[in-house]
Amino acid sequence: MIARARATNLATLKVLSCDSVKMAFQAAAQLKRQENNAQTAAAARSGNGGAGTRDATKGVPTLADIQKMQDEHYAKLAGRA
């Protein structure tokens, strides 16, 4: 990511001044931020905005419902179901 931001290889970073290294890391952070924002925007355009797949017609699960789902899930992982 840093090499991409500087359009160079990482070996040349060894001879840079502190300010230049700081600029390179800030540029890499900006690239990563843009990639993340693009992924978020793509999820928003995908239809459900990246939301979960819980059935909204069933209402909000209670704590007991959540505990039951977790117990069943971990029982399967442990081979007890």
Does the pLDDT value for residue 24 go beyond 70?
A: yes
Does the pLDDT value for residue 8 go beyond 90?
A: no
Greater confidence, 21 or 5?
21
Tokens of 23: 């600029």
The domain segmentation of the chain, as residue ranges, is: 2-45
Q: What pTM was computed for the model?
A: 0.41
User: In sequence order, what are the residues at sequence separation of 6 or more whose Cβ sits closer than 8 angstroms to the Cβ of residue 80?
Assistant: none
Supply the mean pLDDT for the chain: 77
Q: What is the DSSP letter of 35?
A: H
pLDDT reported for residue 69: 92
Cα 57 from Cα 44, distance rounded (Å): 22
- C-alpha neighbours within 13 Å on the C-beta side of residue 18: 0
Residue 51, classed as helix, strand or coil, is coil
pLDDT reported for residue 7: 54
Cα 16 from Cα 73, distance rounded (Å): 52
